[in-house]
Amino acid sequence: AQSVSQHNHHVILSEAASLELGCNYSYGGTVNLFWYVQYPGQHLQLLLKYFSGDPLVKGIKGFEAEFIKSKFSFNLRKPSVQWSDTAEYFCAVTSGGNNRLAFGKGNQVVVIP
Amino acid sequence: DVKVTQSSRYLVKRTGEKVFLECVQDMDHENMFWYRQDPGLGLRLIYFSYDVKMKEKGDIPEGYSVSREKKERFSLILESASTNQTSMYLCASSLPVGGIGYTFGSGTRLTVV
């Protein structure tokens, strides 16, 4: 079964700092990759996704992610975070042509004003 | 605005009770999913359905069952609730093509006492 690894479950940083969250997956074939965000008290929302093409994907709210196939990675970045980026971030993967999403354990990000 | 609606935001049930969690989507999606979300464990797939009357076990189906009698509705059933089923339950739906991404409901926080 597909597995997704996210490291550093808790991340605390100050406003204007840069953020990078790592995501590694186990499947060696064709994958579709996602980052979801869950703001406090809200439902999961899609931040960005990668299907094919340019491995650098831009999402909402200034986030971007880079797909590196050789490293089985899809890391999320934001150059300068804001207090409103405080949320839990989940990496997710579908693979092998099925539509079953496998999630990582999430990163709890707290941005201090 | 497309929606996945979960009937209850909060539920408190007693051990041994039969519990029904309801999910309705208005997007005519074929695929529907039930996840549970626990701190530090991310989202884990309980059951999913690719079509009416079809169901497939996810990663943690024990203690749960599902029903999909109509395309828009997917019910999660706890036959005999136990305290270890206290969790946040998330419903999602998607189109059948792999990797399109899911739309999530707001979640039902179930407490079993």
H helix count then E strand count, chain A: 0, 12
What is the pLDDT, as a whole number, of residue B1?
A: 65
Phi, psi of B84 (to 5 degrees): -75, 0
Q: Does the pLDDT of residue B49 top 70, yes or no?
A: yes
C-beta separation of A92 from A105 below 8 A: no
Structure tokens at A26: 């186990």
Question: Given pLDDT bands bounded at 50, 70 and 90, which one contains residue B2?
Answer: low
Using the Cβ of B94 and the Cβ atoms of chain A, whether some distance falls under 8 Å is answered with yes
C-beta separation of A68 from A25 below 8 A: no
Residue of B34, B43, B50, B103 best to disrupt the A interface, most CBs of A under 10 A: B43
Model pLDDT for residues A51-105, shown as the tens digit of each residue: 889 999 999 999 999 999 999 999 999 999 999 999 999 999 987 666 788 999 9
Cα–Cα dist B9/A47, whole Å: 24
Strand partners, A11: A109
Phi, psi of A33 (to 5 degrees): -125, 145
Cα–Cα dist B106/B54, whole Å: 24
Cα–Cα dist B31/B33, whole Å: 7
Structure tokens at B93: 């739906």
Using the Cβ of B54 and the Cβ atoms of chain A, whether some distance falls under 8 Å is answered with no
**A contacts of B100 (beta carbons < 8 Å):** 99
What is the pLDDT, as a whole number, of residue B113?
A: 97
**B contacts of A46 (beta carbons < 8 Å):** 101-102
Cα–Cα dist A79/A83, whole Å: 14
Mean of the per-residue pLDDT values for chain A? 92
